[in-house]
Structure 1
Amino acid sequence: MSKYVNCFREFLRACLVEELEHRANFAANLMSTVFWLAMAVFTVQLYFFRTPSVGGWSYYEVLALLGVFTAIHGFIEFFLQPNMSRLVTHIRQGTLDYVLTKPIDSQFYVSFRHLVFWRLADVALGLGMIAFALMELGITPNTKSMVLFVLIFASALAVVYSLWMGMMTVSFWAVKVDNLSFLFTSFFETARFPVSVYKGALRFALTYVFPVAFITTYPAAAIVGRLGWTEGAGSLAVAALCLWISRQFWKFALAHYTSASS
Structure 2
Amino acid sequence: MLVDRLYYQKIVLKNDYNKMARARDKAREIATIKYNIEARKRNLERSVASINSQQAYIQKAIAKNESMINKLRTDRAAYQKAERELAKQSASIGSYINKTATSASSVQVASGFIKPIQGRITSPFGWRTHPIFNSRSFHSGIDIGGPNLGAIRASNSGKVIYSGWYGGYGKVVIIEHGIVNGKPITTLYAHMSSIAVSNGTKVTKGQVIGYEGTTGYSTGPHCHFEVRVNGQPNNPLNYI
- The structure with the largest alpha-carbon Rg is 2
TM-score, with length taken from structure 2: 0.23
Give the helix-richer structure, 1 or 2.
1
TM-score, with length taken from structure 1: 0.22
Q: Which has the higher contact order (CA 8 A, sep 6+)?
A: 1
